[in-house]
Amino acid sequence: MPVPSSTSSSRPANRFDRLDALRGVAILWMAGFHFSFDLNHYGLLTPVQHFLSDPFWTLQRTGIVSLFLLCAGLGQAVALEVGQGWRRFWRRWAQVAGCAVLVSAGSAMMFPQSWISFGVLHGIAAMLLFTRLAVPALQRATGAAAVPLLFVLGGLAWFAPVWLQHPFFNSRWWNWTGLVTRLPYTEDYVPVLPWLGVMLAGVALGLLLLRHRRGWLAGPVPGVLQPLARLGRWSLTFYMLHQPVLIGGLLAWLAFVRV
């Protein structure tokens, strides 16, 4: 099937190509990061890389998670603006939450000592539920002031772990809050705080753009970027499949070269 041009009538209805393309950028960045991690894990990078301490890698991880959550916030702004119903929201939320459970199960088999109890999908599921409930209530209560208030709340959420951290939250039962005094030993950790701050900022930015610069989100992208936009529409599927494919490919290659 040919890739539609930016003006094609086959463009999916109610899609925001520029937002989808931005999500596609996040996906490709994540895949490159994970492929590098996998190469390092199987001893194929020289010199050995330190993904947990080297700023080159830790800052990339922060950037990737931030871009994903910003896109999720922008997407929630779009959903609110177009009047997305609860039925559609719950269907999508169930997909994210279900995939989060699968990630926990898979990581427990592969990394039993550092399995993922609250990673990026767990965090997104919790934050989506919060924003879906809280943002419309805030809009009804404050009107046009909701957007600056969301930016303020986002800032407070970002700094909350600095102000409110306590050893009580260090256990797996409570570290999802993010108010920990030590980071848990896990393969992925995206707690509600401070990351809710990024999603709230994304919602606020999305509402602001939809009101004053709608084309920045809703405008078409050049035909050459349409594959990126298409990829962004399948972000959850790509997320769930990319690591099994990458790791499977690496293991197959290692088995081949060692024969």
In this prediction, residue 215 carries a pLDDT of 85
Copy the structure tokens of residue 16.
Answer: 């925001």
Angstrom CA distances, 257 to 13, 36, 47, 160, 253, stand at 48, 19, 21, 50, 6
At 238, the amino acid letter reads: F
Continuous segment of H or E residues that includes residue 237: helix 235-257
Backbone torsions φ then ψ of 135, nearest 5 degrees: -65, -50
- pLDDT tens profile 161-202: 999 999 999 998 999 999 999 999 898 999 999 999 999 999
- pLDDT tens profile 82-131: 888 999 999 999 999 999 999 999 989 888 988 999 999 999 999 999 99
- Does the predicted model carry a pTM greater than 0.75? yes
Distance CA 200, CA 11 (A): 29
Copy the structure tokens of residue 99.
Answer: 């995939």
189: β partners = 118
In this prediction, residue 59 carries a pLDDT of 96
Distance CA 27, CA 32 (A): 9
- pLDDT tens profile 75-94: 999 999 888 899 999 999 99
Backbone torsions φ then ψ of 172, nearest 5 degrees: -60, -25
Distance CA 57, CA 39 (A): 14
Over 80: is that where the pLDDT of 6 sits?
no
Copy the structure tokens of residue 49.
Answer: 């890389």
What are the boundaries of each domain within the chain?
17-257
- pLDDT tens profile 193-217: 999 999 999 999 999 999 999 888 8
For residue 47, cis peptide bond before it (omega within 30 degrees of 0): yes
Would you list the DSSP string of 187-247? S-B--HHHHHHHHHHHHHHHHHHHHH-THHHHS---GGGHHHHHHHTTHHHHHHHHHHHHH
Residue pair 78/14 in contact by the 8 Å Cβ criterion: no
At 215, the amino acid letter reads: G
